[in-house]
Structure 1
């Protein structure tokens, strides 16, 4: 199968990565975090922890991406480190569940805020579907255009969030008294799972630069810079934004809202500011959805190129040199997820649970490959090895266990979500062996043997 051309540089790839990370989460999750934690300083510590874990993952993945600068990211790391069965199960889950539900979940927030801005009651499923169609069309025309859109959208929303922090500092309309404890019912131990789930959803996207590694120019030099600069910049921005939120609004009030940003901006610069922040949310979710579409199709493309999915999914558009078929199949699955689940929370939960299992497994590949292929070129080596990758793997495992416990104890779910998604994951194993039996060439094509 033809390779995708390398025509995206440091700024374009960084914009795609940061654009995915800064999506709906920073506007929706702070009130959710406040419901579980009583101390503003503890809240900031959790946000810092989320950034550190993401940075540990980014450092680990940077080594793997430089070893294998191919489109696919986590899929490629799993294929090379743990073998094709694990990579297949990831790609199967990612194509059918993780990415469609994530892209649709982010886009739903766009539809909700478009209704709020225009004061209408359009069916968000319709507006969200139209958004997904438009962004998929843009990306079909080429990653150069897609990266250009990503740069514009990412720059706009970073500037807007930075403006909130700046105005909070200079207008002096908040209070340091808000940084005092405000009691909550749940203990800190029981709060870890829902709090970290919400925060890690907000940071998610740091791993997606690996999905477009096959299209990055000079990948051995640029990929580590993209991983590190993007993750570090977002961590600092999130800490500053959350501090500004709590300076302008006490936790007791924050817990009663769905979105903090419009309220605090309204207090800073009036109703015009509240309307402006809705536009910011639209831009933010637009950029995140756009980046999610770009990276998601590259994983499906990579798996198809390895003959682990139907070959038509790795067809490259003859003129625009993009994985057009994978893009439009992803669109169909995203729209199906949207109309099936409907709500943001259901879409987001589906993504969080399925992805963190594989994040930990992909990070384990760094240990396996250092043993199996010690002579392989490593243009970038993970600093702090083996401690940093080990801590990330432990955190990923702990998050998975905590999410299972939290879902089982949730009176609304009673473990149904865990049963559903574990069922899909487990089903991927026999599907792989059936596929390998039907298509024997899939066992060894373009990667490690199972």
Structure 2
């Protein structure tokens, strides 16, 4: 065989191997998406029903069992969320939206989210903030740092977890960089593992695969977010003494600071009972969602499809304050349809959100085209309430600004 033929043969083998790898990766992504959706539906129902059951459990032993149930649900949710986030980042559907914001917004949020959890574990929790304005996607940056703090909490049984930040003026001609560091006194990372800690499913100090310590996806997500944001992540560690992960974030350049980051002040909401339209073709999820919204003081119109929801809403003769819909409904219909029809009849300002187990690109694209946020099942009642409050608050501010 001539050299040219040999090279052509090697190139053909390489192309075939690449195509096979791409097919395997696509098959894996489809499997994860299908498994994720099918598991999220019943888990979402369990979250809502557990929340609804809490007010009916009075004795101590019953409350203890309910607390253990909630802990198990939280663990399952964490595992599914990790798989979902990896698949979303692999699919390339996450696009950073850059904004200018104060460092304190991030450090204060981390303090509020993890301070109590760390002290309850017996750890010393310290947040050492600093002044400065960042230029990043605040949601993705917060997600990256939360994964680092989660990792520190998981592998630190005694000592300190510290959040520190320091300005590094050597970051470029327009702006320097801010180094945000998550330090812990945990088990540390053996030198032979340092090159592998950002790989999927790789864990240090968990040979028995204890699910309370996750799947080993947290640092894999950190790596992908670091690449997406172009925020380098550095790590140093001493086995048995602890670790420090350092994230380099651009400081805002002068032109962004001049633009300002102002916004309207929050206005108190109206006092009348609010009306929520809920659409989901899973009866158990719909019941749980209806129960939770009713507990929050909403009047609820619940339906398993678009037409039935519109008929019941018309019978009431008033505009809804909120629409929550599953995405994939029966007969090939989707949740954005009911949102579109509600807004056509009652006004484009009606707040809405999609609550779904679907994780595909088409779902996100369709929701985005309708200007509707997506929450992926399962969500905890607290997460749902935070998003509902945000949607109602933003709608109230828009109404106030339009009237001025």
Give me the TM-score of the superposition, normalised by structure 2: 0.23
User: Rg: which structure is higher?
Assistant: 2
Larger helix fraction of residues: 1
Give me the TM-score of the superposition, normalised by structure 1: 0.21
Larger strand fraction of residues: 2
Structure with higher RCO (Cα < 8 A, 6+ apart): 1
